[in-house]
Chain A
Amino acid sequence: MKSHLDEQQLNDCADDTLDPADRGRAEAHLAACDACRAAIDRLRQLRSELASLPRSITPPPHVLMGVRAMALAAPALHPERRWYTRPPLLAAAAVLLVVISSATTALLLRQPSGVGTGATAPPPTLSTGSAGLVAVHAMERSYEDAIAEVQRALREQQSSLAPETLHVLQANLDIVDRALAEARSALRADPGNDALTALVRSGYERKLDVLRSATSHARARS
């Protein structure tokens, strides 16, 4: 018997992509070679199994949130320049949303949700028509108070968190803080901008979310 079909020929047979010139030779060989026929059958079986895998897997909701923050606000189709076209702020918006999906944050957020944090209720929201400097200060003060309370609770429990978890948690908080600082700076310059107000509020909410989840996680482990 002539030598067996090589890997490419076997795959071409399984895919039905053999050149006509090669097809006759391959078929002649296969008529007398059980091993090559079996190899082609196995390749076809593998292809069938691969083709049966799901081709659609729904991404988590925060992916769309990130798309909206980064893309839908961007003036790709509408050239008027708006606040979110400024790269640092676009990056800040992105960071605020991306950070929540980091591995450690995801780990923390998967913890049982029923554990209380001892934190106060979320700070009051700001009506879009009152986004003056005084109102911005009030909003920030309210969030800072809530964050300070959660941080106190976390400090009491943090000994139950693994050092690497604390390290990544701090890194994430640093990222949020940097993004928040960008957004707050922009809001100082444009205190009536509702979108910037929403971005700042979102940053504070992210920070609270991370801290609360970490506190819950720590309490669950203690």
Chain B
Amino acid sequence: MLISTVPEEPLIRPPDAEPELIRRAQLGDSNAFDALYALTAGRVFAVLLRLCADRDTAERLTQDTFVLAWRRLDTFRGQSRFTSWLHRIAVNVMLQDSRASERRESRVIAVSDDVLHAAAGRASGSELRLDLEWAIARLPAGARTALVLHDIEGYTHDEIAAMTGVAQGTVKSQLHRARRLLQERLDR
């Protein structure tokens, strides 16, 4: 194999591990970057899985996000959370993906069940979550982006506007539209 095994994320990691890992990774320590990946890849993949509504695309863009993160790591100054910084890169990568928009629109219906189950989790209420994930995946791309970033990830309208390059008012209207469409689909 070209690559060694995947690092296991420890069950317990000291809360201050991330800054130290970032510092070491910025000095070129690839093991530290591996550990950062283990800490944060799930957050990036979850966002991209929902934004893209397509597992292959989400995997590819997760990879692209971390490649860019590695290359730009020296520009991270700790002024935001590391996951927020990664999410900004992920959204940029998603938006710049030249083929994404057309394919995403046409493949929304083809979201596979395993993706939905992965996203919905297996905990109690998973049927409801499954319905919700299915409805999210069927939203128009702009509305889906606003909803995922605001209502799931907790970013503000301003932050989403900065991430996506869309006016704040447009983000709000897309969010409201997404909620309306979700309610209509969940009520059926």
Contact A202 to B74, CB < 8 A, known contacts A7-B176, A51-B152, A72-B30 = no
Contact B152 A50 (CB under 8 A): yes
Query: Which chain B residues (31-84) contact chain A, with CB distance < 8 Å?
Result: 33-34, 37, 41-46, 49, 56, 58-60, 62-63, 66-67, 69-74
Contact A59 B3 (CB under 8 A): no
Contact B60 A57 (CB under 8 A): no
Contact A101 B56 (CB under 8 A): yes
| Residues of chain A contacted by B70 (CB below 8 angstroms) | 67, 71-72, 74, 76
Contact A67 to B37, CB < 8 A, known contacts A8-B176, A76-B70 = yes
Contact A63 B63 (CB under 8 A): yes
| Residues of chain B contacted by A168 (CB below 8 angstroms) | none
Say whether A43 faces chain B, with CB atoms less than 8 Å apart: yes
Quick one: which of A46, A70, A201 contacts B63, CB cutoff 8 A? A70
User: Nearest-CB distance from B161 to chain A (Å)?
Assistant: 14
A-B contact count (CB 8 A): 137
- Tell me the complex Cα distance, A98–B67, Å: 13
Contact A78 B28 (CB under 8 A): yes
Query: Which chain B residues (127-159) contact chain A, with CB distance < 8 Å?
Result: 128-129, 132-133, 147, 151-154
Contact B133 A205 (CB under 8 A): no
Say whether B12 faces chain A, with CB atoms less than 8 Å apart: no
Contact B119 A68 (CB under 8 A): no
| Residues of chain B contacted by A202 (CB below 8 angstroms) | 1-2
Contact A55 to B41, CB < 8 A, known contacts A50-B152, A65-B2, A98-B60 = no
Say whether A61 faces chain B, with CB atoms less than 8 Å apart: yes
Contact A101 to B74, CB < 8 A, known contacts A53-B120, A53-B152, A63-B41 = no
- Tell me the complex Cα distance, A74–B121, Å: 35
Contact A43 to B66, CB < 8 A, known contacts A57-B119, A59-B45 = no
| Residues of chain A contacted by B27 (CB below 8 angstroms) | 77
| Residues of chain B contacted by A68 (CB below 8 angstroms) | 3, 30, 34
What are 5 pairs between A and B in contact, CB < 8 Å? A49-B128, A49-B132, A54-B119, A63-B45, A66-B63
